[in-house]
Amino acid sequence: MRRLLLLFLIISFSFAQDDNKAITILQGINANYSAIQDFTTEIKVDINLPGFRMPNKDVKYFYKAPDKSKIESKGFAFVPKDGILPFAELVKRDSLKNLTITEIIGDTVVITLVDTFQNQEAIMTLKVHEPSATIIQGSASINNQNILTFHIHYISIHGIYLPDESAIDLLLPPDFKKIQMLGTSPSQAKKFKEKIKDNKEWVDGKIHLKFSNYIVNQGLSDEIFEEAVETVD
């Protein structure tokens, strides 16, 4: 009985330690984000989504703590939020569900937790480089499907780690294939519909971001963000 109690205590303690370490790591990431009051950067965006063709775009990104961001570009453009400051909102939170360290490989710690993503419960996996307190890889998985995965390389600017390059893999629902029917003739559309009718495979998309010309903590004015960002529904 004593042995069992001891074993229970050891297991509970080790889990608690695990939780504490995960929290400490997330706090480290948050500390890195908190050092950013504002920044601007230029991003070269390369979007590769089936049925959606857009030339590579040069975009200027503006961020001001705690949550103001906008992009400017000549013409139409879009960037994935998580490719820039990944899980910035999530690491700020005091309590997170099922926070666990699942793997430690040298300097890299893999943390999983459960959170809401696209209005559904999702398992978030964060691969964190502990010395720099940066998320080098992250994913959101719903029903065992990785909906979003990103890999980020960082550079240090005045001791703050900011992305140098982001690669985002998206998995889009089967319905997304219908976008490829736009602009086809009725007979082509009919054939295409037949073709995809039984195909329930999700669609892969890739987005690559290359960052340059960072200007950090320059004191960005709020006015920059006041102008309504033109969004497309």
Separation of alpha carbons 117 and 126, rounded Å: 14
Question: Which string of x and - marks every residue 160-189 that binds another protein (by CB under 8 A)?
Answer: ----------x-xx-xx--xxxxxxxxx--
Count other Cβ atoms within 10 Å, centred on residue 133.
19
Q: Give residues 21-60 in contact with another protein (rule: CB under 8 A).
A: 50-55, 59
Which is closer to another protein, CB of 23 or CB of 142? 142
Smaller CB distance to another protein: residue 21 or 44? 44
Q: Quote the least distance from Cβ 198 to another protein, whole Å.
A: 20
- Phi and psi based region of residue 162 (left: phi greater than 0; alpha: psi -120 to 50; beta: remaining): beta
Q: Which residue has the tokens 């009985």?
A: 1
> CB of 108: closest distance to another protein in angstroms?
25
> How buried is 41 (Cβ within 10 angstroms: 0-12 exposed, 13-18 middle, 19+ buried)?
buried
CB of 53 to another protein, least distance (A): 5
CB of 159 to another protein, least distance (A): 26
Per-residue x/- mask for another protein, residues 103 to 132, rule CB under 8 A?
---------------xx-------------
Number of residues that bind another protein (CB under 8 A): 45
CB of 18 to another protein, least distance (A): 30
202 part of the interface to another protein, by CB under 8 A: no
Helix (H) or strand (E) holding 185: none
Q: How far is the CB of 5 from another protein (least distance, A)?
A: 47
Distance from the Cα of residue 175 to its chain's centroid: 23
Residue 219 touching another protein (CB under 8 A): no
Q: Are 64 and 37 spatial neighbours (Cβ–Cβ below 8 Å)?
A: yes
Burial letters 188-223, b for 16+ CB under 10 A, else e: eeeeeeeebeeeeebbebebebbbeebebeeebeee
Return the residue of 23, 71, 157, 224 that touches another protein, per CB under 8 A: 71
Choosing from 70, 92, 151, 210, the residue that interacts with another protein (CB under 8 A) is 70
Alpha-carbon dihedral 84, 89, 92, 98, rounded to 10 degrees: -110
Residues 128, 108: Cα–Cα separation, whole Å: 5
Return residues touching another protein (CB under 8 A).
50-55, 59, 61, 69-82, 118-119, 148, 170, 172-173, 175-176, 179-187, 190, 229-233
